Amino acid sequence: MRYISTRGEAPALGFEDVLLTGLATDGGLYVPESLPHFSLEEIRSWRGLPYAELAYKVMYPFVEDAIPADDFRKMLDETYSVFSHQAVAPLVQLDTNEWVMELFRGPTLAFKDFALQLLGRLLDYVLEKRNQHVVIMGATSGDTGSAAIEGCRRCEHVDIFILHPHQRVSEVQRRQMTTVQGDNIHNIAVKGNFDDCQRMVKESFGNQSFLGGKTQLAAVNSINWARIMAQIVYYFQASLALGGPDRSMAFSVPTGNFGDIFAGYLAKKMGLPISQLVIATNRNDILHRFMSGNKYEQHQLEHTLSPSMDIMVSSNFERLLFDLHGRDGAAVKTLLENAAKGPVSIEDYRWKHARKLFDSDAVDDKTTCDTIRDVYEQNEYLLDPHTAIGVRAARNCRRDSAVPMITLGTAHPAKFPDAIAETGLSVKPQLPAHMADLFEREERYTVLDNDVSEVQGFIAKHWKNA
């Protein structure tokens, strides 16, 4: 399988190169030249498979040119064996035909573990084969950083530099990143917001001269195709558990960078019956404003109780725009260049095509707290603020009560104790046993100005072969 850029000017690459490249040389994101498509009969035959085997069925077409089947199966078995639940992604019922899929049973208690535990193993495999070293540079709004560090910290051929917005992630999220020991692990707190961090990462991938030609950058953010690929699987898992593919499903996805919900869009294109995808956002609602009114316009980024979604520039939205524009890279490039200058819209027929599948909602902090409290009082089930936004958006946007509605539970509530306290509930979410001493561990991180040159200088100085 070959991969092409959403901006149409970079060369097509195989899986190994896409894994290591991240951002395309023309500034675009890589997507498969074509998608595998599974018949209903084939999907039906996967009922009852363990998660790792289902992951193999869904993902192997994307990597088969690069990784032998037995090696990939072994990676998947190792990846999902570290999750704390035998089902890996268990479903919890909230109401009639309403479910939460718990995607926080991995080592860092967030959905990012599904992809980043695998990404670390993929990098190790490819870099060992190539006898190559890379520098991982990533930006996090809270969860990607800890999942990337946990997934990649044992990789012998990488140095890891994770940027997070200073004092704009929860304390648990920060400590999950900054208490992991290792000479190859570097946490940078940037005096800015997540969009600033993400911009620095994109600029650095576009011009890697600060590394002096001695190594190259590799991406752990969802600009890396491998992240999206791994997230497709749990849509199939949820559907199969609730009677799919013989009945359609609806999903509500808390999202800031559009990666997790784009994976659901791909699952539908690959043959999984999905009738609705709900884009659930907080006050940073650029995706909701586009999907509800065909206007893509950046506003001032706001700090909320759901910090992992405090994002205004949704990188993966470019991948959807590429499809909406008939895979015309030049059109996407022009649109995004215009979006950097002011509000943009797309042709009405393209927007209406997107609206056939997507709905959206924006949920403020008060409604988030109300939802956490209501669900707990009804079910004694505690939602984190991001999942609560997903549940509220699902209830507000649901098209058909006969179709199962599944909200992706993206993080464990113990990661956001301050948000839970805001609800007025007396319950205090507890960290699991393997993190019980998190607040006693030594932290290590460096605070830097919101300046790409300063950040690049720090990386150039501190990677191990510098």
User: At which residue do the structure tokens 């609705």 appear?
Assistant: 276
Q: Strand (E) positions, 120-214?
A: 134-139, 158-165, 185-190
Q: Strand (E) positions, 283-323?
A: none
Nearest-CA neighbor of 182 among 209, 198, 161?
Answer: 161
Contact 308/255 with Cβ under 8 angstroms? no
In this structure, the number of other CB atoms found within 10 A of the CB of residue 153 comes to 15
User: Which one of the listed residues 57, 112, 268, 269 is annotated catalytic?
Assistant: 112
Distance separating the N- and C-terminal Cα atoms of the chain: 35
Q: Which amino acid is at 93?
A: Q
295 is catalytic: no
Q: Is 426 left (phi over 0), alpha (psi -120 to 50) or beta?
A: alpha
Contact 1/226 with Cβ under 8 angstroms? no
Contact 305/416 with Cβ under 8 angstroms? yes
Kindly state the tokens that stand for 104: 């926080």
Buried b or exposed e, range 394-406, using 16+ CB within 10 angstroms: bbbbbeeeebbbb
Strands 185-190 and 446-448, bridge-based pairing: parallel
Q: At 211, give phi and psi (nearest 5°).
A: -90, 0
User: At which residue do the structure tokens 């707190």 appear?
Assistant: 189
3-state secondary structure of 395: helix
Which residues are the active-site residues?
A: 112
